[in-house]
Chain A
Amino acid sequence: MSETIQDRVIAIIAEQAVLEPGDVSLDQTLEDLGIDSLGLVESIFAIEEAFDISVPFNANDPSASEFDISSVAAIIRAVEGLVADQAA
């Protein structure tokens, strides 16, 4: 697979934010990108489908979930972790 996890997560987030992947930078938050709570839940669904993983996330308290959504980079790290766990 030539596309990295990072590329694929950025593509998902960019689509949700209605931006080009090149316009999404790693240090941005979802809020910076204009993604609201519904957009977040939809992005997580898209990530689960793309990587065939299960993301632990409760919309009632996103900050308490094990899945870090504080920035684009954090989301990528979290997805990489889940993909690695699954392979293990």
Chain B
Amino acid sequence: MKRIVITGQGTINALGRNVPETLEAMREGRCGISDLEFQDVERLSIRIGAQVKGYEPEETFNRQQIALYDRFTQFTLIAAREAIGQSGLTFSGELAARSGVVLGTSGGGMNTLDENYRSVYEDGKNRVHPFVVPKLMNNAAASHVSMEWNLKGPSFTVATACASSNHAMGQAMQMIRTGMADVMVTGGSEAMLCFGGIKAWEGLRVMSKDACRPFSANRNGMVQGEGSAVFVFEEYEHAKARGAEILAEVVGFAMTSDAADIVMPSKQGASRAITGAMRDARLNPEDVCYINAHGTGTAANDKTECAAVADAFGHHADELMISSTKSMHGHLIGGTGAVELLACIMALRDGVIAPTIGYEEPDPECALDVVPNVARDVKVGAVLSNAFAFGGLNAVLALRAH
């Protein structure tokens, strides 16, 4: 079995336009959540989100590209450019054929759908732009990354709601591990902050109107975010041979299904995924110092997740740190695990644990060290990243310092 290392990372999200800006915001415990700005927002009861403000596509893309790239694709390409640039890789010949891209998204081209539904239903127009389909399809971002960087190996998109990115990165890891590919560009993206995107979530009545306060007793729901994070996963010997800078090693992955309820999480399903990732990584519970939680800030997720961690770790649950960075960058749904992996890599490389901000009142049902409000300097050797999706689909990654 091959080993997998990360040799590049990139992002754009409400906290920053790149990795250094995002990590600085996480270190400072800055909140990216503010008033949403888009058409018809006044018809929503939920009006906050972690939006990428002041973003002008024209600064990065030309007119023809904007006609083809939905916002989620634009975010992906921006993040991929930073990640692949950092890796120093160029793809041609045999390497191109042995490199691919697996990305996660839940909504795909949601803004494109929203704009064009508005045009035909509300404005009564009877004609849409010819590129609506290639722009909105869920695999558009993965395809454009493959075209931009000449990645000719296994490429596809994974959609498992809030676990999409973790499932995608898990697939990328397995492909390198089993020798199917040498390099995989992976991560995820989401751009669901539009009238239809938020209106649909409003209906479920799990969104907060004022703030995301994971694990806090007074939490009252999730807050959506948008953006992307992309990583270069590379086979270890390949990275070593070319003297690449290694950011971290991806050592384990597990996925489970609750097979129980379409929205309510299950302690057993989550706990089995956590335990499975540790077993796959050959880590003992006491080796794990930090978990980037799914931590949505809903009543149901946070207490179930804490119970699952207690179940999987036993006594060590009281020793480890677990924080939810969604309190800062919001819940990026299909892109969330990717942005959260940035916090995991920061913990391993810089020894900085990103905090759970907005934490106000202890909840006896979430009685773990949630790194409240202020980042912490701790040297850590191994970390986990949790993602538990609607539909009961769970995916947990394990990383080690390199």
Chain A interfacial positions (CB closer than 8 Å to B): 37-38, 41, 44-45, 54, 57-61, 64
Q: How close is A81's CB to chain B, nearest CB, in angstroms?
A: 19
Contacts of A38 in B (CB 8 A): 262-263
Q: How close is A46's CB to chain B, nearest CB, in angstroms?
A: 12
A3 to B299, CA, bound (A): 37
Contact present for A41 and B205 (CB under 8 Å): yes
Contact present for A57 and B205 (CB under 8 Å): yes
A3 to B334, CA, bound (A): 46
- The answer to whether residues A58 and B221 also contact, given A37-B264, A38-B262, A38-B263 and a CB cut-off of 8 A, is yes
Contact present for B262 and A59 (CB under 8 Å): no
Contact present for B262 and A60 (CB under 8 Å): no
B204 within 8 A of A: yes
Contacts of B263 in A (CB 8 A): 37-38
9 additional A-B pairs beyond A58-B208, A60-B221, beta carbons within 8 Å, are A38-B262, A41-B204, A45-B203, A58-B205, A58-B206, A59-B205, A59-B206, A59-B221, A60-B219
> How many inter-chain contacts with C-beta < 8 Å in the A-B complex?
33
B298 within 8 A of A: yes
- The answer to whether residues A61 and B205 also contact, given A37-B264, A38-B262 and a CB cut-off of 8 A, is no
Contacts of B300 in A (CB 8 A): 60
Contact with A along B289-302 (1 / 0, CB 8 A): 00000000011100
Question: Can you list 12 A-B pairs, Cβ within 8 angstroms, ordered by A?
Answer: A37-B263, A37-B264, A38-B262, A41-B203, A41-B205, A57-B205, A58-B206, A58-B220, A58-B221, A59-B221, A60-B300, A64-B220
A10 to B354, CA, bound (A): 49
A38 to B208, CA, bound (A): 18
Contacts of A58 in B (CB 8 A): 205-206, 208, 220-221
A64 to B217, CA, bound (A): 12
Q: How close is A13's CB to chain B, nearest CB, in angstroms?
A: 17
Q: How close is B263's CB to chain A, nearest CB, in angstroms?
A: 6
A61 to B213, CA, bound (A): 14
A79 to B262, CA, bound (A): 28
Please give me the residue from chain A that is nearest to B298 by CB atom: A60
A23 to B192, CA, bound (A): 43
Contact present for B203 and A60 (CB under 8 Å): no
A37 to B206, CA, bound (A): 11
Please give me the residue from chain B that is nearest to A54 by CB atom: B45
Contacts of B204 in A (CB 8 A): 41, 59
Q: How close is B121's CB to chain A, nearest CB, in angstroms?
A: 19
Q: How close is B366's CB to chain A, nearest CB, in angstroms?
A: 13
Contacts of B264 in A (CB 8 A): 37
Contact with A along B184-213 (1 / 0, CB 8 A): 000000000000000000011110100000
Contact present for B220 and A61 (CB under 8 Å): yes
A38 to B263, CA, bound (A): 8
Contacts of B221 in A (CB 8 A): 58-60
- Top 4 nearest A-B pairs (CB, nearest first) are A60-B299, A59-B205, A60-B221, A60-B220
